[in-house]
Amino acid sequence: MPHRATPAAAYNTRPKAQPAGSRQGDTHARVRHDRVDHTGVVTLRIGGRLHHIGIGRTHARTHVILLVDDLHVRVVNATTGELLRELIIDPTRDYQPQYTKKPPNP
């Protein structure tokens, strides 16, 4: 005897059609090798826009690996593997400051 299911159960188990070119659920992940410039900044293009990520002058001219997962970015020293910076890119800002502003004193 063949397997029998209700029409609703059969409908719910089948994959649903999506428009051609639908990228829903796609994420953008990449690895990028770069070098911190003399001012302590590395650049990264996301969504066609260039963002400057502050790493610090102490890491000037250091070779780094950028691990990019959508807007979540990790900057790792290519030689030692040390995590230099981890941040979520603010797409409204060109420069991503190294430190957040401190709250005002009471």
pLDDT in tens, 76-104: 999 999 999 999 999 999 999 887 555 66
User: Per the domain annotation, does 80 fall within a domain?
Assistant: yes
Closest CA to 43 of 28, 55, 31, 58: 55
User: Per the domain annotation, does 67 fall within a domain?
Assistant: yes
Q: Give the chain's domain count.
A: 1
Interatomic CA distance for residues 35 and 43, integer angstroms: 9
Interatomic CA distance for residues 40 and 60, integer angstroms: 5
pTM, 2 dp: 0.69
Interatomic CA distance for residues 78 and 67, integer angstroms: 11
Average pLDDT of 58-67? 96
pLDDT tens column, 11-47: 888 888 777 765 656 678 999 999 999 999 999 998 8
User: Per the domain annotation, does 17 fall within a domain?
Assistant: no
pLDDT of res. 11: 85
User: Per the domain annotation, does 74 fall within a domain?
Assistant: yes
User: Per the domain annotation, does 33 fall within a domain?
Assistant: yes
User: Per the domain annotation, does 91 fall within a domain?
Assistant: yes
Domain of 35 in residue numbering reads as 26-96
Interatomic CA distance for residues 78 and 37, integer angstroms: 15
User: Per the domain annotation, does 61 fall within a domain?
Assistant: yes
User: Per the domain annotation, does 12 fall within a domain?
Assistant: no
